[in-house]
Amino acid sequence: EVVMTQSPAALSVSPGETCTLSCRASDSVSDQVAWYQQKPGQAPRLLVYGASTRATGIPARFSASGSGTDFRLTISGLRSEDCAVYFCQQYKSWPSSFGGGTRVEVK
């Protein structure tokens, strides 16, 4: 099973700033990576699929890149509503697997 490792586990950022979340796969997963945002008591919300394609309705301040084993999600111009846990997921290798998440706090 491909293990997805996210870093950092948590970060605190001021409004308007930019943060970058990282996700590393234990084996190459090509570009078969998705990113999700999850708020307390809610289902995950798809932000990005195919490593870099924003899902419908996702603001342009969310951008993502990467291929192979290293992936990044960048959130620009952070807003208070971006407070959430962000998960990466690989779906190249069976079974699909998720990272442990990065908790983002907006100060």
Partner 1 sequence: QVQLEQSGAEVEKPGASVRVSCKASGYRLIDYDINWVRQASGQRPEWMGWMSPNSGSTGYVYKFQDRVTMTWDSSKSTAYMELKRLTSEDTAVYFCAVGIEGSTYSFDHWGQGTLVTVSS
- Contacts with partner 1 by CB under 8 A lie at 32, 34, 36, 43-46, 49-50, 53, 55-56, 87, 89, 91, 95-101
Looking at beta carbons only, is 14 or 94 nearer to partner 1? Answer: 94
Which residue from 45, 26, 27, 29 is spatially nearest to 37, judged by alpha carbons?
45
Helix (H, G, I), strand (E, B) or coil at 70: strand
> What is the C-alpha to C-alpha distance for residues 44 and 33, in angstroms, rounded to an integer?
15
Looking at beta carbons only, is 76 or 98 nearer to partner 1? Answer: 98
Work out how close the CB of 32 gets to partner 1 at its nearest, in angstroms, rounded to a whole number.
7
Looking at beta carbons only, is 18 or 53 nearer to partner 1? Answer: 53
DSSP conformation class of 49:
E
